[in-house]
Structure 1
Amino acid sequence: MQNEFQLKKDICEIGRRIYQNGFVAANDGNISIRIGENEILATPTGVSKGFMTPDMIVKTDMDGNVISGKLKPSSELKMHIDVYKQRDDVKSVVHAHPPTATGYAVAGIPLNDMIMPEVIISLGTVPIAKYGTPSTMEIPENVRKYLDCYDGVLLENHGALTVGTDVTNAYFKMETIELTAKINLTARQLGGIKEISPENVDRLYEIRDKLGVQGKHPATCKVDLSQTENDSNDSGEISEAELGELVSEITKKVISELE
């Protein structure tokens, strides 16, 4: 494993990336890396992720107690700790508010359309976990049910959460979710989504197996998407009027990025 100072630098680098890419604003977002059985490096509260330095990173135990560091850890550290307790394979967690993907989370639309081979292989689909009050155990409890099958989850009215084998791996999944949301939205604006056929989706799953891609994936646990799309939206469907309103609102915010 890399030394602790290098891991702190890695967290700062990913913090700069999520800030520069517009995935967070002001002091939003949080990042962590698990080191050993009972220690976590985490971003501090009240600090912009784009301007962190290694000395700002906090070390805590798996109960959230500070071991070292001058600042307080993120108030949402509970969410990270719960992920680590559920998934031994996860070594890093990233939480951000990528605007297009968060628009889908606000609208209650999971990213379940099979439209991009790379996304199908890496993440499969991205469900929405029911809303919870930040800094409480509500969000961890709502996310927990998806961790056996997913490495990326939208958080209703809140943003997105990704996990990985290291901090860069977790961050790349956040990038993938946001790009998928942008492409999905663009396709809807252009008249509709044309999904990859089930037969070709199965072939992509076979490629995933051959590549030995690590992490959880809905294809490996054969989840029923109709039961996991969104706790607050039983059908996962929206009307044409709702879709029109969604496109109108999101377009105002992200059209410059889509050009």
Structure 2
Amino acid sequence: MQDICEIKEQICDVCHKMWQLGWVAANDGNVSVRLEDGTFLATPTGISKSFITPEKLVLINDKGEVLDGQPGYKPSSEIKMHLRCYRERPDVNGVVHAHPPTATGYAVAGKSLDEYSMIETVIAIGSIPLTPYGTPSTDEVPEAITPYLQDHDVLLLQNHGALTVGADLLTAYYRMETLELYAKISLNAHLLGGAKEIPMEQIDKLLYLRKHYYKVTGRHPGYKKYPSK
């Protein structure tokens, strides 16, 4: 039996952490959780993540329609992107969208983060593709991410930001942390002359550890590269 109050507090904690880390400004970003009954809790539109409290969250159905919430509160128009993740991935129960500065810098520059150069990132998430541009609030964004959802838990959104999914909200949040740290390390490596990729035979060993030792949930692309845009 899920403790809805605990889940609401967790959503608020994640929102506050995102704001404290500088991943969102003003009303940027959104967070959602799938509940056991097939409904969803989501952050409302037009409110800074620093001001999110449990009573401000909205309960919606799989069409994005509000089932419960304070008068006038509704989910972000980007909830379409979240709902697409849940529809395509039954294993996903938490989604986080934010604009972490370094990772978003790669998205704005039209660059994927697909170098296999850091052990922890290879194990945790693998390569991170840059999805095609989509106009916010339209179906273009969910359509743009759909081809990547079966292989990836972490996506860069072209000229937009980042999206992470997980079996639960904390896993999705931790993947956003991993993404931003890796983006910072990758940028530093390039400033120092370029990252040195891990040999393929060592990557295979790391992927074996992911599956059989660490037992990481979610999807992994294996070894996959993506062209910059």
Same fold per TM (> 0.5)?
Answer: yes
1:53 is aligned to: 53
Match of 2:129 in 1: 127
Structure 2 counterpart of 1:173, one-letter code: R
Partner of 2:150: 148
Aligned to 1:13: 13
Q: For 2:118, give the aligned amino acid.
A: M
The number of equivalent residue pairs is 226
Q: In 2, Cα distance between the equivalents of 1:69 and 1:37?
A: 17
Q: Is structure 2 residue 98 aligned with structure 1 residue 118?
A: no
Match of 1:107 among 106, 109, 124: 109
2:91 to 89, 92, 97: 89
Q: Does 1:185 align with 2:187?
A: yes
Structure 1 runs of 4+ off > 3 angstroms?
none
Any unmatched runs of 5+ in structure 2? Answer: none
* Greater helix share, structure number: 1
| Cα-to-partner distance string for 1:113-161 (whole Å, 9 max, x where unaligned) | 1111111001011001101011111000110100110000000000000
Q: TM-score, normalised by structure 1?
A: 0.85
Distance 1:92 1:139 in 2: 18
Partner of 1:236: 228
Say which is worse superposed, 1-10 or 22-31, in terms of deviation.
Answer: 1-10
Which residue in the other structure is 1:212 paired with? 215
CA distance in 1, matches of 2:120, 2:38: 34
- 1:194-242: per-residue Cα shift (whole Å, max 9, x none)? 11111111110110111221100001xx6x53xxx2xxxxx438xxxxx
Q: Deviations over 1:161-209 (max 9, x none)?
A: 0000111110000011111110000011111111111111111011011
Secondary structure of 2:148 counterpart: coil
Q: CA deviation at 1:37?
A: 4.6
SS of corresponding position for 1:154:
strand
Alignment-derived partner of residue 22 in structure 1: 22
Instruction: State the partner residue of 1:41.
Output: 41
Q: Is the 8 A contact 2:2 2:36 kept in 1?
A: no
Shift of residue 44 of structure 1?
A: 0.3
Q: Percent identity at matched positions? A: 50
User: Structure 1: where are the runs of 5+ without partners?
Assistant: 230-234, 238-259
Distance in structure 2 (CA, Å) of the matches to 1:125 and 1:191? 20
Amino acid at match of 1:154: L
Give the letter aligned to residue 15 of structure 1.
Answer: C
CA positional deviation for 1:38: 2.8
AA paired with 1:76? Answer: E
State how far apart, in whole Å, the 2-side matches of 1:102 and 1:166 are: 23
Q: Which residue of 2 aligns with 1:246?
A: none
Q: Secondary structure at the match of 2:67?
A: strand
2:168 aligned partner? 166
Distance 1:146 1:163 in 2: 12
Q: Is the 8 A contact 2:42 2:57 kept in 1?
A: yes
Aligned partners of 2:24, 2:136: CA distance in 1, in Å?
A: 15
Amino acid at match of 1:69: G
Taking the aligned partners of 1:2 and 1:168, their CA distance within structure 2 comes to: 15
Deviation string 1:73-102 (CA, Å, 9 cap, x unpaired) is 111111101110100000000000000000
